[in-house]
A = this chain, B = another copy of it.
Amino acid sequence: MPLDPAPLNDAKGVFPIAPTPFHPDGRVDYDSIDRMTDFYGECGGNGMTVLGVLGEAPKLDGAEALEIARRFIRRAGSLPVIVGVSAPGFAAMRSLAQASMEAGAAAVMIAPPNTLRTDDQIAGYYRQAAEAIGEDIPFVIQDYPLNFTVVMSPGVVRRIITENPSCVMLKHEDWPGLEKISALRRWEAEGSLRHVSILCGNGGLFLDFETERGADGAMTGYAFPDMLVDVVRHALAGERDAAHDLFDVHLPLLRYEQQPGVGLAVRKYVMMRRGIIASDTQRKPAAAMSATARSEVEYLLARLAKRDPRAGKLVG
C-alpha cells in the first residue's frame, strides 16, 4: 500500500501539546482554541498536537473530540496538526483517525493500552493498530511509561518502526530516556533503523540534553512553548551554552509544572495568565490547584520575569 511521502519523518522543532480549553461551565471554548492556535504559530511552533492526555481527551465524548480536532486543524492552516486517537478499542480509534485525516490532520498519535507488558504484546498492538486505522495514515508512537506503565525497550521501538512503514515519529517521554535516544540514533547511523522524527515530552524536563542526544525537538505542553522554540533553535544551531542558559532560567517553573496530575492545572493557569486561554477550567475528574499552589506559581512567574520578560506580560 503506497504511503505518501510523510514529511513528518523529518520534522524538527517544537510541536506544542495543546490543552483543551473549557468555559467555566465545562463547555468547550472554541474561541480560546483559535487564540491558542494562533499563539503557537506566532511563537515559532512547527506544528501542534491535540487530544492528547494533556488535552483531557478521555473526558470528551466522540463528537466533541472530532469537532475540537477540526477546529484546531482549520485554524492552524499550513501548520501540521497531529491528533491523539488512543482508545481502548480499534473501532473508536479508526473512526477518529479517519475523520481527523479527512479534516486535514497530518498524522495521528497512538499510546499503548496499559495492559501491555511483553515486547511481543507491544509490537503486536502497534501492528494491529496500524492495520486498523489504515496503513496510509501516518502515526506517532507515544512512549510514556510513567503515565501508561508500558515500558518499551529501544529494541521494541525499532521493531515498531520497522514493521510499520506508516510510523513517522516517536514522541519520547521515557524517564530516564537519554540513552534510548542515543541507541535509536546509533542504530540509524549504522543503517539498521530508518529515520523517524523524535520529539520529546515529559514537560521538557530534559530537553536541554535530549536535543544533544539526537532528538529533533519537543512535543510537550509547557506553558512557554516560545522558550522551547528558542532552546531547540539554539541546540540545533550548536549553541550549547545559550540553550542551557535559557533552559535553566525556566527550569524552576518547568519542574513545578511537571508534577503528575496537578501539572495540567498549573499549565492551564499559566496559559490563562498569559492570555492564551480564557479560563483554566478542567473537566472532572481533575486535580485542582490550592490557593497556596497558585501563589507559588505566581512567585515562580515573578522570579522568571526578571530574566525572561515574556513571563512578565500577564493578564487578569
Given A152-B118, A153-B119, A293-B178, A283 and B251 contact (CB-CB distance below 8 Å): no
Interface residues of A in 120-170 (CB under 8 A from B): 120-121, 124-125, 128, 132, 145, 151-153, 155-156
A61 at the interface (CB under 8 A from B): yes
* Cβ-defined partner of A90 (8 Å) among B152, B248, B285: B285
Bound state CA distance, A114 and B88, in angstroms? 13
Q: Is the beta-carbon distance between A179 and B118 smaller than 8 angstroms?
A: no
Interface residues of A in 182-208 (CB under 8 A from B): 182, 205-206, 208
- How many of chain A's residues have a CB under 8 angstroms from any CB in B? 62
Chain A contacts to B: CB under 8 angstroms: 56, 58-64, 87-92, 95, 114, 117-121, 124-125, 128, 132, 145, 151-153, 155-156, 175-176, 178-179, 182, 205-206, 208-209, 212-213, 244, 247-248, 251-252, 255-256, 259-263, 283-285, 290, 292-293, 296, 303
Bound state CA distance, A290 and B209, in angstroms? 14
Bound state CA distance, A95 and B64, in angstroms? 12
Q: Is the beta-carbon distance between A285 and B128 smaller than 8 angstroms?
A: yes
Across the two chains, which residue of chain B brings its CB closest to A154? Answer: B120
